[in-house]
Amino acid sequence: MNRVVNIYDWPHFVLSGDFDPAAITARLGIEPTFAMKVGTPIDGTDRTWGASSWILACGDEEAGCDVQDQMIFLLFQLEACKAEVTSLCKEYRGDLNLFACLDGSIPGFFLGSEILRKLAELNVDVECKFVRSSEIRGEVKN
């Protein structure tokens, strides 16, 4: 658990709220890429996590560099426990996050109707963000 993942690099499914991540893992039968329990100290600070997180990410080692292929990979895993995912997304906040990095050109990705139907069936919101690579490196402050 807690594989090092830059969330700006890969699509990922995240549940957030007040829960024990181990209980989510047990309900879904899927080992998360990253999980953190509310109240856990944040390394290097005097703060703690304000909410629990359970994250399942997909990178190029699992599904190549195409965003749609990565989404299919994630949805295939979540489809196996569809009823539990749907229930958890109603209990807590469930999002599928997509990021595209801007480096001088306008990025784009395509989500086919089958993927959109599966997301709707799982009751998952989709959040798309476009960021500049300089923001990721901390060079630009908004």
CB atoms within 10 A of CB 17: 15
**pTM, 2 dp:** 0.69
| pLDDT score of 70 | 77
Looking at residue 35, its pLDDT comes to 92
pLDDT attached to residue 37: 94
Residue 138 has a pLDDT of 54
Residue 26 belongs to a domain:
yes
| Residue 68, domain extent | 12-136
User: Residue 140's pLDDT is what?
Assistant: 46
- Contact 86/93 with Cβ under 8 angstroms? no
Kindly give, in sequence order, each residue whose CB lies less than 8 Å from that of residue 65, ignoring residues fewer than 6 positions away.
Answer: none
* Residue 36, pLDDT score: 92
Two structure tokens written together for 76: 């295939």
Q: In this structure, is residue 2 part of a structural domain?
A: no
In a domain, 131, yes or no: yes
pLDDT mean by block of 10 residues, the chain; 142 residues: 55 89 95 92 90 83 67 83 90 76 57 74 71 53 46
Residues 22-33 as b/e (b if ≥16 CB within 10 A, e otherwise) read: eebeeebebebb
- The answer to whether position 4 is within a domain reads no
* 28 in a structural domain: yes
Amino acid at 134: S
